[in-house]
Amino acid sequence: MHAKGLFIPYIFIVEYAEASRLTSVSFYILSVMNGGATIGRIVPAIISDIYGRFNLLVTVTSLAGISCLALWIPATVTATAVSSTRDAALVIAFGIVYGIFSGAFISLVNPCVFQISERGQEGSRMGALNSLV
């Protein structure tokens, strides 16, 4: 997952909810995603010490993409002119799940760069990474 593509759901989720007439969740969905991202930035950092930083980074990146396919697209397909509880539940579930996995991605990139860098080169490699992204 490219870092620019990581934020597309954050940018469009509110407009999507409004366009789908899910007015009951459109105001809160971005906060739900950010709440999930808070959890995703803390918990995976602890888990990565057990399972490995790169292993977890690949896993959460894959799961973030899968959550778009498994939750956001079905909510898009089933959205009708009248908002339904199922559509709202799918959007909220997507917000929580994607928030957790995208937050994990953000928190795991830096430790991965530090893991492959020699002492004294961390700053230049972080700068190169951020310049490329």
Q: Please, are residues 42 and 99 in contact by the beta-carbon 8 Å criterion?
A: no
pLDDT digits (tens, 9 = 90+) for 17-49: 888 777 778 888 999 999 999 999 999 989 999
CA–CA distance, 108 with 120 (Å, rounded to integer): 20
User: 18 vs 58, which has greater pLDDT?
Assistant: 58
Per DSSP, helices labelled H in the chain are: 3-6, 8-19, 23-26, 29-51, 53-67, 73-78, 85-116, 122-132
pLDDT digits (tens, 9 = 90+) for 68-79: 888 887 776 665
Q: Please, are residues 37 and 106 in contact by the beta-carbon 8 Å criterion?
A: yes
pTM: 0.85
The CA-atom distances, in angstroms, between 51 and each of 55, 91, 114 are 7, 30, 17
